Amino acid sequence: MVPNKKMEEMLNKQLNSEFYNSHLYLAMAAWFEGQNLPGFASWMEIQAEEERKHALKIYNHLKERRGNIKISQVPLPPSEYKSALEVFQAAYDHEVSVSREINNLMEAALAEKDYAAVQLLNWFVNEQVEEEAQTDAVLQQLKMIGESRGSLMYIDRHMAKRKE
Ligand code: FEO
């Protein structure tokens, strides 16, 4: 069933938000490269790729339902940070705001009785639990180590192990 106009608009908005998320994390990856922290950079590159997959998941949903797909301009992400801690605080805060967006979408899908979108969004609700947890886990470690460069290098080596 083709989504109604309201759902189509909201899904397109989320699709484009996910592309922004991808740019945001790639900009964070670039910042880590500049800091000679290749493990953190690699982690963020993988995250950027995940976000692109989120965008394509919504793209394919709209495509299969013959909805109109509108790709819009991606806003400029921040590129300057003071520390790895600041980056992960921003990443965690951002994921919390994405969860809010997904919840709003879910509320709309239920109100509009768009059960196909509800199914899609169930996946995103679960994914957000994971996305918040994994950024928070790194954030807590960074809080624990304070200013220690040695510990930061140690975490960097660990971050390099993330697989897609
Ligand atoms: Fe697709 Fe990290 O939200």
Q: What is the pLDDT of residue 106?
A: 98
User: Would you say the CB of residue 54 lies under 6 angstroms from ligand 1?
Assistant: yes
User: CA–CA separation, 112 vs 9, rounded Å?
Assistant: 13
Residue type, 144: M
**Distance, CA 45 to ligand 1 centroid (Å)?**
13
Q: Residue range 45-66: average pLDDT?
A: 98
Domains of the chain (ranges, CATH numbers): 5-71+81-159 (1.20.1260.10)
Residue 105's closest CA among 47, 64, 63, 54?
54
**Distance, CA 150 to ligand 1 centroid (Å)?**
30
Is 83's pLDDT higher than 90? yes
Q: What is the pLDDT of residue 22?
A: 98
Q: How confident is the model at residue 81 (pLDDT cuts 50, 70, 90)?
A: very high
Is 163's pLDDT higher than 90? no
User: Would you say the CB of residue 135 lies under 6 angstroms from ligand 1?
Assistant: no
User: Would you say the CB of residue 48 lies under 6 angstroms from ligand 1?
Assistant: no
Residue 108's closest CA among 20, 2, 1, 3?
3
**Distance, CA 118 to ligand 1 centroid (Å)?**
17
pLDDT tens digits, 114-161:
999 999 999 999 999 999 999 999 999 999 999 999 999 999 999 999
User: Would you say the CB of residue 98 lies under 6 angstroms from ligand 1?
Assistant: yes
User: CA–CA separation, 63 vs 164, rounded Å?
Assistant: 25
Residue 62's closest CA among 27, 21, 11?
11
Is 21's pLDDT higher than 90? yes
User: Would you say the CB of residue 44 lies under 6 angstroms from ligand 1?
Assistant: no
User: Would you say the CB of residue 45 lies under 6 angstroms from ligand 1?
Assistant: no
143: left (phi over 0), alpha (psi -120 to 50) or beta: alpha
Mean pLDDT of all residues belonging to the chain:
97
Ligand 1 nearest-atom number relative to CA 54: 1
User: Would you say the CB of residue 131 lies under 6 angstroms from ligand 1?
Assistant: yes
Count CB neighbours of 4 within 10 A: 13
